[in-house]
Amino acid sequence: MLLGVNIDHIATLREARKINDPDPLEAVFIAKRAGADQITIHLREDRRHIHDSDVIRILESSALPLNIECSINPNIIDSILKLSPNRITLVPENRQEVTTEGGLDVVQHFDRIAEITQALKQNCIEVSLFIDTQIDQICASKEVGAQMVELHTGAYANLYAMLNSNLSRSHHVIESLNLPRSTLKTHLQDSIASLQDGAKEAKWLGLEVAAGHGLNYHNLAPILAIPEVMELNIGQSIIARSIFTGLESAIKDMVALIKSS
Ligand code: PXP
């Protein structure tokens, strides 16, 4: 199982002051030292954290393969084609969101995603689609020509948090607070089963399978147990721990957890 470390929040901290510190490029070198396999960043339309210049500097460093998450907006795709990273993960994007909510609707945007996928592949950029686990989304991902899907683990992570902490502030949690514990447990089991089924279906179709969103040091076990999942992309929990332990140690802890599975 490979680990992609999402370093958006390093840039978020930098942008809090609009200065050069902390530098996401430094995080790339630390991630490499700590045993990460890939760097993941989200180049948002509003460039709220990661900037094009970060992408250029990370690519020039050639320290680790770079996976850029971005929307299907034509302007951002034009920028990406010029930057030429190793992989693009297409994600839904909404200006108001705090983080990526829900998977990309490949069925609805089929033609546009097929066109982007073709353009990216012609430029030797691998294409992954960040999707929910519905079978029609997985089949559409294969049909548009993507090589990989990243299964959205956000719903699973939220349910896990609801059952294991009274302090979770996720909006999904708040919406569901009135649910009895037994119902939450059933939903949690359903969310794991749906990730298992989705991963199996995707692999059967010939897609590589990654997973990510909301994964942390406590909720990883059921995801690590899905044999088809070959990569995890994890950001917030690693950067949060790094404030107290340092980034290298936080990434090493995650690498050790993944390797222990
Ligand atoms: N994968 C994708 C496609 C994402 O959009 C994100 C969030 O940027 C992540 C993984 C990482 O999620 P988290 O920061 O919750 O670990």
pLDDT tens track for 209-237: 999 999 999 999 999 999 999 999 999 99
Span 165-187, average pLDDT: 69
Residues with Cβ within 8 Å of residue 242, at least 6 apart in sequence: 249, 250, 251
Distance of CA 114 to the CA centre of its chain: 21
Catalytic residue among 69, 201, 228, 231: 69
Span 59-76, average pLDDT: 96
Alpha-carbon separation of residue 175 from 158, 185, 186, 222 (angstroms): 11, 16, 17, 24
Residue 112's pLDDT is 97
Residue 178's pLDDT is 72
Would you list the domain boundaries of the chain?
Answer: 2-154+207-259
Nearest to 215 by CA among 194, 237, 246: 237
Active site residue 213: yes
Cα 167 to middle of ligand 1, angstroms: 21
Q: Which band of pLDDT confidence, cut at 50, 70 and 90, is reported for residue 187?
A: very high
More confidently predicted of 147 and 93: 147
Cα 3 to middle of ligand 1, angstroms: 12
Active site residue 187: no
Atom of ligand 1 at shortest distance to CA of 9? 14
Cα 41 to middle of ligand 1, angstroms: 9
Q: What is the DSSP-derived secondary structure letter of residue 66?
A: E
pLDDT tens track for 24-38: 999 999 999 999 999
Residues with Cβ within 8 Å of residue 25, at least 6 apart in sequence: 54, 57, 58, 61
Q: Which of 43, 69, 170 to mutate to test the pocket of ligand 1 (most atoms within 8 A of CB)?
A: 69
Atom of ligand 1 at shortest distance to CA of 238? 16
Residue 28's pLDDT is 98
CB 233 near ligand 1, within 6 Å: yes
pLDDT at 45 over 70: yes
Q: Residue 39: helix, strand or coil by DSSP? A: strand
Active site residue 171: no
Degrees to nearest 5, angle at CA 101 with 99 and 103: 130
Catalytic residue among 9, 49, 213, 228: 213
Residue 169's pLDDT is 55
Asked if 151 and 211 touch (Cβ cutoff 8 Å), the reply is yes
Determine the residue type at 149: V
In whole angstroms, what is the distance from residue 45 CA to residue 30 CA? 27
Span 57-62, average pLDDT: 95
* Site of tokens 């959205």: 152
* Site of tokens 């991630």: 31
* Site of tokens 């514990």: 181
Q: Which band of pLDDT confidence, cut at 50, 70 and 90, is reported for residue 165?
A: confident
Q: Which band of pLDDT confidence, cut at 50, 70 and 90, is reported for residue 261?
A: confident
Backbone angles phi, psi at 70, to 5 degrees: -155, 165
Q: What is the DSSP-derived secondary structure letter of residue 7?
A: -
More confidently predicted of 172 and 75: 75
Asked if 127 and 88 touch (Cβ cutoff 8 Å), the reply is yes
CB 100 near ligand 1, within 6 Å: yes
More confidently predicted of 64 and 173: 64
H helices within the chain, ranges in order? 8-15, 24-34, 52-61, 74-83, 110-122, 135-143, 154-164, 171-175, 181-204, 221-224, 236-245, 247-259
Determine the residue type at 184: L
More confidently predicted of 126 and 165: 126
Cα 212 to middle of ligand 1, angstroms: 6
What is the number of other CB atoms lying within 10 angstroms of the CB of residue 143? 15
pLDDT tens track for 7-18: 999 999 999 999
- Among 3.40.50.300, 3.20.20.70, 3.30.420.40, 1.10.10.10, name the CATH number for the domain at 2-154+207-259: 3.20.20.70
Cα 144 to middle of ligand 1, angstroms: 23
